[in-house]
Chain A
Amino acid sequence: MKKAALFVTLALGLSALGSAYAADPAFPKVDAGKKVTLEVWSWVPGLDKTVAAFTKAYPNISVKVVNLGGGPNTYTKLQTALKAGSGAPDVAQIEYGFLPAFADTGGLQDLSKYGANDYKKYFVPWTWGQVSPEGSAVYAIPQDTGPFAMVYREDILKKYGVAVPKTWAQYAQAASVVNKKSAGKVKLGNFYSTFAPWFMALAWADGAQFFKRDGDGWVQTLNNPSAKKVLNYWYGMIKKGDVSTINAFSADYWNAAGAGTVASNFEAAWGPGGYAGSMKDKSAGLWRAAPLPQWTASSTIKSGNWGGSSNVVTTQSKNPKEATLFALWLNLSSSAISANWVNGGLFPASDAGLDLPVLHEKTKNPSKFFGGQDISAVYTQASKGVNVNFQWAPWFPFANDNFNKQIDLMIKGKLTPDQALDAWQAETLADAKKEGYTVR
């Protein structure tokens, strides 16, 4: 009895030590005598608490956190400050898809000058490709990721006698069953018609490549075969009425998901936190997570990524060395990763971070909302199945909005899925050329 208890204590102590060591690499040395203030723009809730731990470790570096709330407004402000040549922070948070557009302004430091490449090995492999597309210059330090998995209402699937689909064929079959049995009231899934990155993540899982650097220019293939396959698949279900097309993050959506008229969806790793927050009193404990359905049944899960962000250091920073240190510490130290997860629901880009016990706590949200399932285990598996070679282009923000236009026409029946993707490709290409890019 005693022995067992001792063994448990020992094991716990060891595992705690083990994870702490695994997650914390040696950070770059900075001049300890130099007093420095860093300004950080971020939308992570509770970042100030994380920062308190940093200033404890580095008393000479004080950090001022400005929370701009995220989304387009943050980018506008940063874009303007970079253009104006003053007023930009030392460190800022940018999503992967929007990173090339900012790298393009010339306002971002190449962090390889400050030894960032030495830390490549600590990050989930595909995230490094996002911040260092050519493999030399490093435009940012990966922060969080959004690997894709399926979330679903266990109670509703049971009610309609549908098993958790493992392949897309099974998913379509299940969608049709749920629609018929519920007389059209309940949809198994939902297509987010105004979120290009959501769609792209589904195609990404199938190996789609939308943008690629090529010599001194770019290749853009928004109408690639995987994209066509995925969009045609969804269009089929939309036309039959088997899935709905409610907008992401809208009151309509939360209402439908909470009321059980949408029974499953594909969400990034940061999504479950939103579910737990937005549907507090509705459907708590009824949700579960499962791996993304696959095109062919197989034991290895291929996934894509939606969202996720990185930390850049601007060229306006007077202390780029310290700023780089902060960005590395914020995303590699176990205390910061834990705090970012607990306060902001950031699913780490750090490889070791994926195993941190706090991610897998079943009694806390979002796992608690998901019936006590260790959903991070599902997302960790997804993270390992994300294709490494995916790239974004600087004109992605335009492509992002143009997608909505084409999908709107497709849903109205004015374009077929193939035509919609071809139009997306053609219009985006024309605009990129007008903006002076060498692209084909």
Chain B
Amino acid sequence: MLAFIAFFVAPVGYAVYLSLFIKKRSGFGPAKDVFGGLANYVRAFQDTDFLQSLAHILVFGVIQIPVMLIIATALALVLDAAKGSASRFFRTAFYLPYTVPSVIAGLLWGYLYSKNLSPFNQITGLKTDFLSSQVVLFSIGNIVTWTWTGYNMITLYAALQNVPTDIYEAARIDGATGGQLTRYVKLPLLRPTLILTGIFSIIGTMQIFSEPFVLRPLGYVPDNITPNTYLYLTVARDGNFGYGAALAVLLALFTLLLSGFFLRYAADGGDT
């Protein structure tokens, strides 16, 4: 309980407290933090850069999360069907990217993305600029998918392993083919795990930071590519701790809301 207060309640409380202060200046010299009430929150809802960052992450999530989970599910099903050392090898191989810290992954992909050195460009003879501001969001999506697909696959695979084999036997006795087994038995059984990985992915998506941040020095990556980079710059670059705290609080609420909607939607889907 003490730990909960020290490591959860206190920081959140401090963030909320900080978010009520605005910077005030008169002429030169240091800014003073004065009580501003909800001014920072009002500013956030009028801040097109911040709202855009939310839009970015929504687009990102709507595309990246399903793609990643579909690939992860497919891989888990394949691995579950295949047995033996090959299965073990691929399990480890797909999981490996997750063990690479995201900063390192960003640097690695940063090299693979650089216009004149990229192996893709050298093989295909194209001059694709993966770091151009129009496609950089997709390039980041690719890094995130690369990192997390294997992780989600393992979770889903573990869920499949926990299914008692007599269920499969019963299905087979009823005459189910492999495809039907997957469609009507395995996938429904995976549903709770998919919801879980979905929630984790939503939360993870909202927190994306290191990938865009590592790519920043390599090209033009907008300040507000994700809400977290925008928040970070507000505090670390502009020194506005109050506004940063307000953004953090809003972001936490937004994540909570999104997760709530997803859970609701997923549960409703289960009823039909």
Contact = CB atoms under 8 A, between A and B. Distances in A.
A436 B111 contact: no
B208 to A, nearest CB: 18
B223 to A, nearest CB: 6
Interface stretch (B22-30, B85-93, B140-148, B154-162): B22-30
A90 B232 CA distance: 26
Contact of B116 (A76, A193, A252, A402): A252
Contact of B114 (A80, A251, A397, A407): A251
Interface residues of B, number: 30
Contacts of B25: 435-438
Interface in B216-246: 217-220, 222-223, 233, 236-241
A194 interface: yes
Interface string B195-214: 00000000000000000000
B99 interface: no
A440 to B, nearest CB: 14
A75 B236 contact: yes
B172 interface: no
A106 B236 contact: no
Interface in A236-293: 246-247, 249-252, 255-256
A217 interface: yes
A104 B30 contact: yes
A120 interface: no
B218 A72 contact: no
A105 B239 CA distance: 8
B27 A438 contact: yes
Contacts of A408: 133, 220
B241 A83 contact: yes
B264 interface: no
Given A249-B217, A252-B116, A395 B23 contact: no
A408 B135 CA distance: 13
Contact of B23 (A107, A251, A398, A435): A435
B219 A247 contact: yes
B114 A105 contact: no
A170 interface: no
Given A436-B24, A436-B25, A251 B30 contact: no
A401 B217 contact: no
Nearest to B33: A83
Nearest to B224: A405
Contacts of B219: 194, 247
A79 interface: yes
B220 A405 contact: yes
Contacts of A407: 220
Interface in A65-97: 72, 75-76, 79-80, 83
Contacts of B27: 216-217, 438
Given A105-B30, A438-B25, A405 B116 contact: no
Contact of A436 (B23, B117, B218): B23
Interface in B1-39: 22-31
B56 interface: no
B30 A193 contact: no
A379 B111 CA distance: 33
22 contacts: A75-B236, A80-B236, A101-B239, A104-B239, A105-B30, A105-B239, A193-B220, A194-B219, A213-B28, A216-B28, A246-B116, A250-B218, A251-B117, A252-B116, A255-B116, A255-B117, A398-B238, A405-B220, A435-B23, A435-B25, A436-B22, A436-B31
Given A194-B217, A398-B237, 12 more contacts: A72-B236, A75-B236, A247-B217, A247-B219, A249-B217, A252-B115, A401-B233, A435-B23, A435-B31, A436-B22, A436-B25, A438-B27
